Amino acid sequence: MEKASGHEPLDVEAAFRREAPALLGYFTRRVSPTEDAADLLSETFLIAWRKRNRVTLAEATVRPWLYGIARKVLAQHRRGSMRRHALADRVRLVLRESAVAGLDGTANPEDELSEHVRSLVGLLDPLDQEIVTLVYWEGFSQEDVARIVGKPASTVRSRLTRARALLRSQLAESGEVEPGETP
């Protein structure tokens, strides 16, 4: 169907006006949630738009050509959906196993301290919370955090220093750590 002689170049706008309702129905009948159908329709016409200068089709072949693209878009969507569901299932399994591991009836003092620290971090300014969690829980350097949050590295360093001091003093007040000790 590529570059047939004697045929007009593809008019994607006209094809969209003519075929979009039927293609939307095609996707709606095949995906769940049905809201994904509009995204798949957009992807189909985006591909057609990108190919518009490389393809010339007879009017009678435009519709089957678009459905061929739609079929490939749908297959790609299904593969992606299966990968996402498989990943979510693995994460649920890991979380379930870790929750079961903590059900032996014994209290772990480190878990209690971790929960207390998490609650204290939750009291910080939202930007300070993000900086602390990116550095300590996600393992980013202060320079990387500066890029992520869009602030100068000096600002991240000073905010992190201030947040650590505040957390340290709150933990010392609660008796969790000695004054001056690193939590």
- Tens digits of per-residue pLDDT, 22-74? 999 999 999 988 899 999 999 999 999 999 888 888 888 899 999 999 999 99
- Among 96-100, 141-145, 152-156, 170-174, the range scoring the smallest mean pLDDT is 96-100
The residue type found at 118 is R
* Tens digit of each residue's pLDDT (9 = 90 or more) over 107-164: 454 566 677 788 888 889 999 999 998 998 888 999 999 999 999 999 999 999 999 9
Nearest Cα residue to 69 out of 84, 55, 83: 55
- Tokens 């930007």: give the residue: 127
Kindly state the tokens that stand for 57: 């089709």
Q: With helix as H, strand as E and coil as C, how does the chain read?
A: CCCCCCCCECCHHHHHHHHHHHHHHHHHCCCCCCCHHHHHHHHHHHHHHHHCCCCECCHHHHHHHHHHHHHHHHHHHHHHHHHHHHHHHHHHHHHHHHHHHCCCCCCCHHHHHHHHHHHHHCCCCHHHHHHHHHHHCCCCCHHHHHHHHCCCHHHHHHHHHHHHHHHHHHHHHCCCCCCCCCC
Domain covering 109-173: architecture? Orthogonal Bundle (1.10)
Answer whether residue 4 shows pLDDT above 50.
Answer: no
What percent of the chain is predicted at pLDDT more than 70? 80
Phi, psi (deg, nearest 5) at residue 52? -55, -35
Q: What confidence category does residue 1 fall into, taking pLDDT thresholds of 50, 70 and 90?
A: very low
- pLDDT at 175 (0 to 100): 66
- pLDDT at 122 (0 to 100): 86
Q: How far apart are CA 162 and CA 140, in angstroms?
A: 18
The highest-level CATH class for domain 12-99 is mainly alpha
Domain limits of the chain? 12-99, 109-173
Kindly state the tokens that stand for 112: 């209690």
